[in-house]
Chain A
């Protein structure tokens, strides 16, 4: 059973646009929600993370929005750039520190 559902599977955005990736979780024991960015041929890298005591966290052009009651969180990439083209994974951890990953979103930003 997939505990973290991520959508969309793929996303194409024009340069300067907003990229939005959504995730939903089921396990209420989760208390840490990171996003990882993976470029082709590289390992995933931690991009930004949030804990459920806040509803939003912003780092540069990247923002996580968190809705605890709906058990949903999302990544917003403002002013998307071609260099943002990558696969993005949401994840959730809690209790056990081993994260559960979403299935990933392939983002392409056209120049």
Chain B
């Protein structure tokens, strides 16, 4: 059983387009995250979200927005894609009381041409 899943696995699109990446977790966790991993493998937190609080990394452009239809899903919407947005995006989740233990999805490789 997949704990944290993401779709699509690969996403190739042109500059200026708007795209979404979906994330679902079946662990019953209450907090979900989005990370960006660049070509040098540096992991950068973008958002942390539970049903009470959204924490946004202030360095993330407002073209990026998380949307959570329910506790098990946290989708990432990206508007006006730029070349520099090309990266691997990871969704993760954790549970209250164990928030330090994060479970990551398999990643979505986004390529902007």
Contacts and interface: CB of A to CB of B under 8 A. Distances in A.
Interface stretch (B12-20, B38-46, B66-74, B77-85): B38-46
B41 A43 contact: no
Interface string B21-58: 00000000001010000001111110010000001000
A103 B42 contact: yes
A99 B102 contact: yes
Contacts of B105: 43
Contact of A43 (B90, B94, B101): B90
A32 B48 CA distance: 18
A45 B104 CA distance: 7
Interface residues of B, number: 23
A72 to B, nearest CB: 19
Given A43-B90, A87-B41, A97-B100, 11 more contacts: A34-B100, A34-B101, A43-B105, A44-B43, A46-B102, A97-B48, A97-B99, A98-B45, A98-B55, A99-B45, A104-B43
